[in-house]
Amino acid sequence: MSTIGKLFPLLWSLAFLSPVVAIFFAVRFYAIHCRRSPKSDRRFPLVAYVLILLGCAIVAFPFGLSLGIRWACSTPGFGNLCGLFGFFVTGPFASALAIFLIIGLIVLVPADEAAIPADDAPIHAKTRWYRELWHGQYSLARSFWGFFVLGTFVGVIIGMNPVFLFLPVFRPVLLAYEITAGVGVWRSANALIATRGPSVKYTDSMKIIAAKTAVVLVVGIHGILLLRILSRAVA
């Protein structure tokens, strides 16, 4: 077996972690972008940002897949791992690279003048993000797309890592996070209804219904899967 074949488990672990690292920096730099552009009409829309990240990652994956298969299968002594190398290594790396390219674009967005006053620079948030999320203090779009959808996506990627396949404690942690994010989405939706009252638009009502339905489905599915795993472990 070649040297690359011997390093395949390590490369597999790093490849599955690479999109997680890329998403972390994507969230971080979007938060910086929001601070540099305090006015909402000057910001890049969060929903569009998340959709572009997911779209570019999905599009980049088959390119990395084909490149990895072609390169690995043409390497002497690689053996039967040539197909897996593209699927588990170069594919995730290509998705991570695509996410980093989008991060570079969001960094290039110019900041508003005097976006952060000098007197406010040392001031930090008084409330932790998870408390704000739990109490529904974020907007519905940020709670749903930023924390629930993106957070679940990151959790699923982490769970696919071979390091976590043998750690059953990861699934309860992911379910706990989904419940926390789901409560935040639910309360953000209720806050939107309370703020606008009877003047809630039809499109906003559909967004609220869709967000709550997605929360129930995702949390319910993962809860059922966790119960099945626990029942098998007990049996």
Give the span between the Cα atoms of 3 and 99, in whole angstroms.
Answer: 29
Residue indicated by tokens 């900041």: 111
Q: Is the pLDDT of residue 118 over 60?
A: no
Is the Cβ–Cβ distance between 150 and 23 less than 8 Å? Answer: yes
Give the span between the Cα atoms of 136 and 148, in whole angstroms.
Answer: 12
| 202 — pLDDT class (breaks 50, 70, 90) | confident
Give the span between the Cα atoms of 208 and 190, in whole angstroms.
Answer: 8
| 121 — pLDDT class (breaks 50, 70, 90) | very low
pLDDT at site 216: 92
Q: Is the pLDDT of residue 2 over 60?
A: no
Computed over every residue of the chain, the mean pLDDT equals 78
| 6 — pLDDT class (breaks 50, 70, 90) | low
Q: At what angle are helices 91-108 and 46-73 packed, to 10 degrees?
A: 140
pLDDT in tens, 76-109: 666 666 777 778 888 888 888 888 888 877 777 6
| 42 — pLDDT class (breaks 50, 70, 90) | confident
pLDDT at site 81: 63
191 contacts: CB under 8 Å, gap ≥ 6: 136, 137
